[in-house]
Chains A and B, each alone.
Chain A
Amino acid sequence: MHLPVWSHIWLLSQIEWQRLFVTRRGWLTLAAFCLLWFLLLRYVVMPLSQWMLDPAIIEGAEMMAGWVDLRQLLLWPRPELSLFWLLALLLTPAAAVLFSAGQICRDRSRGTLRFYSLRVDRDSILLGRLLGQLLVQGTLLQLALLACLLLALWQGAPLSGDLLSAMVFCWLFVMLTLLPFTVLMSLMSVWLNSSRAAVSMAILLLTLLPLLLGVLVYYWPQALPAFAWLPGAQIPVLVNSSPWQPWAELGLPVGQALLLLTLSLVSFRRRSL
């Protein structure tokens, strides 16, 4: 009996997801993630959200507008959630680069993929691993959001539809922001032989490419729109958005992810195992 492709992808993604909860490495990741978000919620979000609840701050928000537009953040149903949104957009892409670097290369260098490739085509292996990473990221983000919700309730917020809707928005748009970074790491993981090399190459790409583009734009200003194709290019716009507002920014990460995914699939089909 042969399984359909989607079943293979789903089964492989479940293996990745189980890694988070069954293995020691997964438990360490989970513990580090929980500790980090505890510190952020306790020592950043909690004091700043109390400060943002002050009516005087709301009145002076227009004067304080800078790179982060405080007026937009105050449009969120609760300041805890707006601060979470800000922190998640700025910090989680780096976490996605670090945690999803071993999608393919670890098992390829160990030879484990040879066992899988006798049973599953290479596209399914890559897509399964990627989906697994996204499921892990989605689960962790959900846990952090729940902690943020608990903090908001503890600080006196009523449990409203607006608050839950803003949470869903936050989860969805942060996940979409992480998508091109995760697919980029899938590509790096196909090209390179270790997680460390994949992370190093991603850091080089994500720092050198904007620099090179900057030089290019200096001499040839028409190249300016090319900045929009860098992963995370939409983050400055998203940071200053209120819930369910930035639909126009959805296309860019999805387009970037599709392009990188195509490159990953083509590269992986040609790669020796």
Chain B
Amino acid sequence: MTAVIACTGLSKSFGDKTVLKELDFQIEAGAPVALVGANGAGKTTLLSLLCGYLTPDQGHIQVLGRMPGSQGLNGRLGALPQDAQFDPDFSLARQLQWLARLQGMTASKANTEAERVLALVDLTAEAGLKVAQLSHGMRKRLAIAQALLGEPELVVLDEPTAGLDPLHAKSLRDCIQQQSTHCTFVISSHNLFELEQLCGTVLMLEQGKIRQQATQASETGVLRLQLCQENSQQLLPLLQQLPGFVKLQLVNKLQLELQYDAVRAADFDVQLLQLLHQQSMDYRQLSRGQSLEQQLFQSGG
């Protein structure tokens, strides 16, 4: 595997406040990577350092084998910076064409590319409008479109769905999933549900350090079941009889977390569904593995 991002001894302070403390980590090319953390944990600072908007106080960063801000990253690194806005006086298409030209495309190729990325974020009809005429969500989608210009190898997205309506948030998640076959995404977000759907690896920033690096693929042998009615007490003795059952935890009145022996009972989920069917119990959702929220915030508890 190739490291698309490698940081060693990375530190950044603003005045007396140390935001990042000697971070050491690397991100491999492949499935999207999530960056999570509380407000002020340093997510945006880290992404700004990766994009070369800020310079580190200490340490080294390599992005696709280059220093951030290097010309060698032109067209290879795409980014959605937090709160960055386009010039309100020019049209969407014109500004995307300029950026594509700066990436080295010819005028006609830049035109085609601008149309392609506008279509990806469902802004084709607004291509000729000035940015000042767009809503907040549309501006966000435009900023995402510029990050995808020229099919970069690495795309860094800072809170990509904040401010987007559910339909476009879903559309963006689909777009990321499609693009992630040839591009590595690093996504900072507070939306754990979204990250759970998209990302294979999660980096959690806490007090300037990467506290935890969770990989969802490693979590097997756990099923989360959400019932439609509160009948867990009736279900408990039946579940304990299922082959491979290890432990049951009530997350809340309707949600159960089941641990099972994945080696002995690889078809535990099938048995569970059959049991629910036999008992005529409706369920809302069954999912495999711990939720990202549980992995990040309950693992120590």
Point out residues on A near B: beta carbons under 8 Å. Answer: 1-3, 8, 11-12, 15, 19, 22-25, 107, 110-112, 114-122, 270, 272-273
Cβ of B89 under 8 Å from chain A = yes
Between-chain CB contacts (< 8 Å), 26 pairs? A2-B71, A11-B102, A12-B102, A19-B89, A23-B90, A24-B89, A110-B84, A111-B81, A111-B83, A111-B85, A112-B84, A115-B86, A115-B99, A115-B143, A115-B146, A118-B77, A118-B79, A119-B74, A119-B99, A119-B102, A119-B103, A121-B69, A270-B55, A272-B48, A272-B53, A273-B48
Q: Is the CB of B71 within 8 A of A112?
A: no
Cβ of B54 under 8 Å from chain A = yes
Q: Is the CB of B53 within 8 A of A112?
A: no
Cβ of B73 under 8 Å from chain A = yes
Cβ of B101 under 8 Å from chain A = yes
Interface of B is mostly: loop
The one of B52, B104, B105, B146 in contact with A117, judged by C-beta atoms closer than 8 angstroms, is B52
Q: What is the minimal beta-carbon distance from A1 to any residue of chain B, in angstroms?
A: 4
Cβ of B42 under 8 Å from chain A = no
**Which 3 residue pairs across A and B have the least CB separation, nearest first?**
A111-B84, A23-B89, A1-B104
A249 to B55, CA, bound (A): 41
Q: What is the minimal beta-carbon distance from A35 to any residue of chain B, in angstroms?
A: 21
Point out residues on B near A: beta carbons under 8 Å. Answer: 48, 51-55, 69, 71, 73-75, 77-79, 81, 83-87, 89-90, 98-99, 101-105, 143, 146
A122 to B101, CA, bound (A): 17
A250 to B86, CA, bound (A): 39
A24 to B78, CA, bound (A): 31
A25 to B104, CA, bound (A): 29
Q: Which residue of B has the minimal Cβ distance to A270? A: B55
Residue of A2, A12, A114, A121 with most partner-chain B CB within 10 A: A114
B73 proximity list for chain A (CB < 8 A): 118
Known contacts A23-B89, A111-B83, A121-B71; A3 and B99 CB within 8 A of each other:
no
A137 to B84, CA, bound (A): 29
A8 proximity list for chain B (CB < 8 A): 102
A12 proximity list for chain B (CB < 8 A): 102
Q: Which residue of A has the minimal Cβ distance to B95? A: A115
Q: Is the CB of A3 within 8 A of B104?
A: yes
Q: Which residue of A has the minimal Cβ distance to B77? A: A118
A19 to B74, CA, bound (A): 25
Q: What is the minimal beta-carbon distance from B113 to any residue of chain A, in angstroms?
A: 13
Q: Which residue of A has the minimal Cβ distance to B72? A: A2
The one of B53, B77, B98 in contact with A11, judged by C-beta atoms closer than 8 angstroms, is B98
Q: What is the minimal beta-carbon distance from A126 to any residue of chain B, in angstroms?
A: 14
Q: Is the CB of A114 within 8 A of B104?
A: no
Known contacts A114-B53, A273-B53; A120 and B85 CB within 8 A of each other:
no
A12 to B101, CA, bound (A): 10
A272 to B19, CA, bound (A): 15
A22 proximity list for chain B (CB < 8 A): 89-90
A112 to B77, CA, bound (A): 16
Q: Which residue of A has the minimal Cβ distance to B104? A: A1
A118 to B83, CA, bound (A): 16
Q: What is the minimal beta-carbon distance from A237 to any residue of chain B, in angstroms?
A: 40
Q: Which residue of A has the minimal Cβ distance to B86? A: A112
B102 proximity list for chain A (CB < 8 A): 3, 8, 11-12, 116, 119-120
Q: What is the minimal beta-carbon distance from A9 to any residue of chain B, in angstroms?
A: 11
Known contacts A2-B71, A119-B74; A114 and B105 CB within 8 A of each other:
no
A126 to B77, CA, bound (A): 21
Q: Is the CB of A119 within 8 A of B75?
A: yes
A15 to B99, CA, bound (A): 11
Q: What is the minimal beta-carbon distance from A93 to any residue of chain B, in angstroms?
A: 26
Known pairs A110-B84, A112-B85, A122-B69; list 8 more (Cβ under 8 Å): A3-B104, A11-B102, A25-B89, A115-B99, A115-B143, A118-B74, A119-B74, A119-B75
A116 proximity list for chain B (CB < 8 A): 99, 102
A111 to B48, CA, bound (A): 12
A40 to B98, CA, bound (A): 38
A1 to B101, CA, bound (A): 10
Q: Which residue of B has the minimal Cβ distance to A272? A: B54
Known contacts A22-B90, A112-B85; A117 and B74 CB within 8 A of each other:
no
Q: Is the CB of B87 within 8 A of A107?
A: yes
Residue of A11, A107, A117, A119 with most partner-chain B CB within 10 A: A119
